[in-house]
Amino acid sequence: MRIDIITVLPELLQSPFEASILKRAIEKGMVEIHFHNLRDYATNNYKQIDDYQFGGGAGMVMMIEPIDKCISGLKAQRTYDEVIYMTPDGVTLNQNIANELSLKGNLIILCGHYKGVDQRVRDHFITREISIGDYVLSGGELAAAVLCDTIIRLIPGVLSNETSALTDSFQDDMLAPPIYTRPAEYKGWEVPEILLSGNTAKIEAWREAEALKRTQERRPDLYAKE
């Protein structure tokens, strides 16, 4: 998989890809991340990438020309499956979207800033608009990092067996059950006995029941979908 990220603030985005699972996925050659500083595609002498909005109103708007130059330049080199715009008014990200995107080959992610981009960018270049939740961030960069993390960890071979995505919360519209590790007793607080029993069938049944209970209590909206 190859992901091209277009941003006005590449430095805000780089560190998540320099640690942990994402770093390992890149080092193993399973994913390539390329950052493109929109400022490098500015067309006038002032390196301008934003301007006042027509009709008046507070806040700057990201101009179409630098974005066109960047996206069209990338598209001339390879075919992209999706051109994604990170924006608070997009479709809210969930595990289904992450699963779907993890199967793609090449993605472009455009990070919104200021008031957002000229509507013509959305009309003519963007294939999908994604938000990460109902709250406002200063820009799309942190949202893009979240999106990339959810996608990349799902690429086959990125996670080892012990970190398998199959047992994650949300993977089957269920939260994960409680988990424990050694010691079996700490300050008198004990681990549920069944987990120490070695009876895998009973342990599996207990985990399923606990996951169900947790989902009903904490996320009745997920439970209703079943």
What is d(CA 82, CA 95) in angstroms, rounded to the nearest whole number? 17
- The residue (of 3 and 159) whose beta carbon lies closer to ligand 6GU is 3
Q: Is 214 exposed, middle or buried (0-12, 13-18, 19+ CB in 10 A)?
A: middle
Based on the shown chain and the rule CB under 6 A, indicate whether residue 133 belongs to the binding site for ligand 6GU: yes
- The residue (of 67 and 159) whose beta carbon lies closer to ligand 6GU is 67
Judged by CB under 6 A, the residue of 19, 76, 136, 166 near ligand 6GU is 136
In the bound complex, what is the minimum distance in angstroms from residue 116's beta carbon to ligand 6GU? 8
Among 42-50, 61-69, 132-140, 168-176, which window interacts with ligand 6GU (CB under 6 A)? 132-140
Residue for token pair 């013509």: 120
**Vertex 158 angle, CA 155 and 164, to 5°:** 90
In the bound complex, what is the minimum distance in angstroms from residue 151's beta carbon to ligand 6GU? 14
Count of residues that bind ligand 6GU according to CB under 6 A: 13
Based on the shown chain and the rule CB under 6 A, indicate whether residue 107 belongs to the binding site for ligand 6GU: no
Task: Mark 142-171 with x for binding to ligand 6GU (rule: CB under 6 A) and - for no binding.
Answer: -x----------------------------
Based on the shown chain and the rule CB under 6 A, indicate whether residue 88 belongs to the binding site for ligand 6GU: yes
**Can you say whether the dihedral through the CA atoms of 171, 172, 178, 182 is positive or negative?**
negative
- 112 within 8 A of 131, measured Cβ to Cβ: no
- The residue (of 10 and 139) whose beta carbon lies closer to ligand 6GU is 139
Partners of 15 in the β-ladder: none
In the bound complex, what is the minimum distance in angstroms from residue 137's beta carbon to ligand 6GU? 4
**Vertex 182 angle, CA 181 and 185, to 5°:** 110
What is d(CA 35, CA 20) in angstroms, rounded to the nearest whole number? 19
Binding residues vs ligand 6GU (CB under 6 A): 86-88, 112, 131-133, 135-137, 139-140, 143
